[in-house]
A and B are shown apart, each in its own frame.
Chain A
């Protein structure tokens, strides 16, 4: 089935370690997005990519990095520079602004 997959669903890391969250889609979508969601809050845009080998910072990019080497993959690295990384991370993809966006089921990252 076509869709967007985030893995793992739950992730635990020690403070000071970098961690990479996976996002894969087989929908042939050009645009992909990463969001962070804190409890009781809305989604905040971290990075987005409109095409392979290109990406732009969102509103809260500090402490995060991304790559877009393949159309179907958009991994997010949470670096040790991110001061409060514990959150729910969501990935999305879409074709164009006048079509629906699809979201993954999210990765809940806990840093201890």
Chain B
């Protein structure tokens, strides 16, 4: 069973911020929260990951709730190239299971 819950789809306007939510109410203390995105007919691409604290990198920011039962991927200024399926996954051992993800549409 998938351990994360994400909306099936979201829309955003170009150059506006996007907040992609992920619920993981059964997260354990050793689970890392990872985000990947997948463009059509390509392999997924790593976006960001974190454990407890918020994280920033050149692609995005990851905001993790204090109880760790939810997280939000933040794209600060969406571009057309950000249109993809975004996956939120938990990793606590060396298996790596994906859910259905959120399909992000970016409108010009």
Contacts and interface: CB of A to CB of B under 8 A. Distances in A.
Interface in A92-112: 92, 94, 97-98, 100-106, 108
A64 interface: no
B51 interface: yes
A105 B42 contact: yes
B53 to A, nearest CB: 13
A35 B94 contact: no
Contacts, number: 62
B49 A92 contact: no
Interface residues of A, number: 27
B101 to A, nearest CB: 6
Nearest to B47: A100
Given A97-B92, A98-B49, A104 B98 contact: no
A106 B100 contact: no
B42 A106 contact: yes
Interface string B84-108: 0101000111111111110000000
A45 B95 contact: yes
Nearest to A59: B97
26 contacts: A31-B94, A35-B98, A42-B99, A43-B44, A43-B87, A44-B98, A45-B95, A45-B97, A48-B95, A58-B95, A59-B97, A92-B43, A92-B96, A94-B96, A97-B32, A97-B92, A98-B49, A98-B91, A100-B46, A100-B49, A101-B34, A101-B46, A103-B36, A103-B44, A105-B43, A108-B41
**Closest 8 A-B residue pairs measured CB to CB?**
A103-B43, A100-B46, A97-B91, A43-B98, A42-B100, A50-B94, A31-B94, A42-B98
